[in-house]
Amino acid sequence: MSDAAAEQLFLGRQPILDREQRLHAYELLFRNGTTNAAEVTDGVQATATVIANAFSELGVAAALGKCRAFINIDEAFLFSDMLELLPKQSVVLEILETVPPTAAVIERCQALKEAGFMLALDDVIQLAPEFAGLLALVDVVKVDILPLSQRELQQLVVKLKPLGKQLLAEKVDSREQMEQCLKLGFNLFQGYYFAKPTIIAGKKLDHSQLSLMKLMGLLLSDADTSELENALKAEPGLTVNLLRMTNSVGFGNTQTISSLRHAIAVLGRRQLQRWLQLLVFSSGKQSTACNPLLLMAATRGRLMELLADEVQPGHGAFADQAFMAGIMSLMPALIGLPIAEIITQLALPDSVKQALIAGHGDLGCLLKISESCETGDLRTLSHNLQQLPGLGAKALNRAQTQALQWANTISQ
């Protein structure tokens, strides 16, 4: 595959959660930008190459941490030798519903199973007899709940349970659907309710006592401001609350807060320490489970910070604003308020405000690029990359990998 084709490959991911809404795995989504149906074979080859590069060269395996990655596998790729390049301990091979359960397919899946791969069957909505052999081999059954009525879903689960497989509910779009699937006994969950920011509302910005104590320790040891800044960057919820407090009427501040470093300086270390002490005492039991949306906010902020440095190298203030715009863009989903209402409480730079409200400027462009990477919207991604001549596909892939690795370290 040519270098030009390789530059068109991008990575996305969607979290898969367990019954306690803890991060369990990711579904990785690879794109090559090819829409011509006549190039399906090349598309498979491109997908295989991207996967190989992702795990061996770009280091995405490090970004996954202890989580496995679900990888979509079509019929052509199922029989590709490139499949052997995937690290079996880190992936689940997700057999697409378009793969016919032929004798050759079942034989191939049996061989992969014996080689140590975990298998999943995608988009199950019924138990057709011809899929019995394939169902016997897979570890996870992904049930597409979208087209099923409550009664149909219940009947399907009754048939699936005796098979002893992990049941994953996909396309979970609401709390009601999640609660129904919990009652039916699903083990894993995936869908816009968890990962699409516009669906989730009213979530509390939680932070574990461990994170709070870490920040307290840095303050008590008289750590450099840069260390405090880096620790806060890993906690989007704390960051937003810090900005709110720094900009509050009660605090009496009228300055425009341009960065975390600025906020720390304006607030002062003694006030920051008091604030953290209050949060430690007011927080409930320690929670180490990572909120997927907070993790997404941190990842998006870090990605935008890295991309900003590509667009305007050495311009620290622009990178700081990019990070702030990234995490702030997900606050409406986290706290259930419109972005316009949230930013009225904060003295943010005009460039950040315009990016968040209207998507204007270079920051708005970076925000659209980050969102497109998450959703797989290649048309929007390509358009916005063209708006920033200093940013190419290779730099984007590199920044994504670094952002994912960074997000993994803060989720541990």
**Shared domain check, 353 and 233:** yes
Tokens of 116: 């140590």
Cα–Cα nearest to 288, from 189, 234, 209: 209
**Shared domain check, 381 and 305:** yes
Flag whether pLDDT at 93 surpasses 50. yes
Mean pLDDT of 96-121: 94
> In the predicted model, what is the mean pLDDT of the chain?
76
E strand or H helix at 169, and its extent? strand 166-170
Cα–Cα nearest to 175, from 188, 158, 192, 155: 192
CATH number for the domain spanning 338: value is: 1.10.3210.10
Q: What is the pLDDT of residue 117?
A: 94
Q: How far is CA 179 from CA 167, 263, 332, in A?
A: 14, 40, 23
Mean pLDDT of 196-204: 32
**Ranges 126-140, 207-221, 232-246, 256-270: which has the least confidence:** 207-221
**Ranges 73-82, 106-115, 210-219, 362-371: which has the least confidence:** 210-219
Please, which residues have CB within 8 angstroms of residue 152's CB and are 6 or more apart in sequence?
none
Q: What is the pLDDT of residue 205?
A: 45
Mean pLDDT of 48-68: 54
Number of domains forming the structure of the chain:
2
Flag whether pLDDT at 189 surpasses 60. yes
**Shared domain check, 57 and 168:** yes
Residue at a domain's end among 195, 217, 244: 195
Residue 197, phi-psi category: left (phi > 0), alpha (psi -120 to 50), beta (remainder)? alpha
What is the extent of the structural domain holding 153? 3-195
**Shared domain check, 174 and 25:** yes
Residue at a domain's end among 147, 170, 195: 195
**Shared domain check, 177 and 55:** yes
User: Which runs of consecutive H residues, i.e. helices, occur in 80-224?
Assistant: 103-114, 132-137, 150-160, 175-184, 192-195, 209-220
CATH number for the domain spanning 149: value is: 3.20.20.450
Confidence (pTM): 0.54
CA distance 115 to 5: 32
**Ranges 139-143, 189-193, 206-210, 224-228: which has the least confidence:** 206-210
